[in-house]
Amino acid sequence: MLERGDRKGLLTPLLGAAPNRKDSYRPKNSTLETLRAAVVLTKDAVKAVSITAMEALREGAAFIGITNPQNELVDPFENLNAPIWERTPPSELLHLAYNYCEELTIREAGNFHHSFKYLPDEQRLAMCAVYAFCRRADDIADGDWSDRFPGGKGEEDPEAAQYRLRLEELYGRSTIINEDAYKNKLTQLFFFRKKLSTCYNELSSTDPVFLALKDTVKNYGISREHFDDLISGMEEDLFINRYKTFDDLYLYCYRVASVVGLMCIEIYGYEDERAKKYAESWGVFMQLINVLRDVGEDIGRNRVYLPLDELESNNIDVEHFTEGRVLLNNQWEPYTKEYAKRARSYLKEARKLLPLLPRRARYSPAAMIAFYEKILNGIVKRQGDVFTSRVGLSKPQKLILAATVYLKHRILPRFLTPIWDGLARVGLLPRV
């Protein structure tokens, strides 16, 4: 586990933090790892799309769209009645899959896509494939997305039912959401893992996200553990809606955010192994901001991610989150300031990632870091009021930040970077 100092006062930031850990932190749970490692899609168990059908698709690839007349995103392979291709699909279909992932990214996360667009084409498309995977997993767990697995038996699938029972044993409880929704979502996540396994064996999924992801994994060598950890984070949301300590929250942050940073740096490229530690802190920083920003929205879904022991020690009542009554508690603003202080300890480490990446790749993480720091500053400026309205950035703020980040990380000559950083430390230039 992480080495932490005494928790005196409101919140004590992690002592030593990422740079002093021998290895990147990764949750160890042999039971969970064994369980999810058994979720594998095999050719013997499912029907495959015939070669004839594949060739017909190939011939018509130029005419297959990824949007319908209502300009809605459409899976180009949605009419296929099998979850895998009989053989490796041709480049035309892989191209369609990547187009689908990029369009999904543009529609669902324009800011993220903007941060990707200055990467070389291959890296940009790889980032879109990774984003599409993360987006779909989140939409299953926390939205109303209905994932597709042709030929699957759904909630009645014996293997899926057994997986569900094993998870309940592991967590020592059943779900904290509606029972029907729980069974549906967990079954979808089970088959989502099945499709993930095709990225690491000889099969190819007919889901465009996993077809593109398989190519990305092959090109950049991204570990399956990262993708599996993210799905585990989505599953956790079906069982847990309260976190007792910061260590518990950190594990969740690692699973849903740090692993994304670890995926990204494999695409960006790096030589110094410290990049993994700083990428972990990058994810924790961003997720801590999400947690604080969304307190008001999360309580409406009966979720509290802030550590309960810290709230209790500061006489902050979770029940008062519902109507923002916590703003009347004179401990809330000091708590949010100390929370921000800890988040900035991870921000400091996240910034150390940038010099370890190729110059052409720095804009992407630097822009995301800048956007989230601005949101954190906005929360502090509003005295911790995340209840009356959502804290975000206006379009002009985003444009100015993006232009500043672009100037520093893509235009400014390298020898001037120390001068910029020095002026930023005294407040004469923005720190990005």
pLDDT band at 23 (very low <50, low <70, confident <90, very high): low
For 426, other C-beta atoms within 10 Å of its C-beta total: 7
Identify the residue with better confidence: 127 or 110.
127
pLDDT at 413: 83
Place of tokens 């400014």: 412
pLDDT at 26: 62
What average pLDDT does the segment 157-164 reach? 95
pLDDT at 24: 59
Contact 41, 194 (CB under 8 A): yes
pLDDT at 312: 95
Identify the residue with better confidence: 270 or 8.
270
pLDDT at 9 over 80: no
What is the average pLDDT value for the chain, to the nearest integer?
A: 89
pLDDT at 299: 93
What average pLDDT does the segment 404-420 reach? 84
pLDDT at 10: 38
* Domains by residue range for the chain, with CATH: 31-221+228-239 (no CATH), 241-397 (1.10.600.10)
340-352 pLDDT, tens digit each: 999 999 999 999 9
| Residue 102, phi then psi, degrees to nearest 5 | -70, -40
- Spatial distance between the Cα atoms of 289 and 375, rounded to a whole number of angstroms: 8
78-105 pLDDT, tens digit each: 999 999 999 999 999 999 999 999 999 9
pLDDT band at 27 (very low <50, low <70, confident <90, very high): low
- Spatial distance between the Cα atoms of 334 and 326, rounded to a whole number of angstroms: 12
What average pLDDT does the segment 204-219 reach? 98
pLDDT at 122 over 70: yes
pLDDT at 376: 97
Percentage of the chain exceeding pLDDT 90: 69
Number of H helices, E strands in the chain: 18, 2
Contact 367, 401 (CB under 8 A): yes
- Spatial distance between the Cα atoms of 205 and 147, rounded to a whole number of angstroms: 13
pLDDT at 19: 41
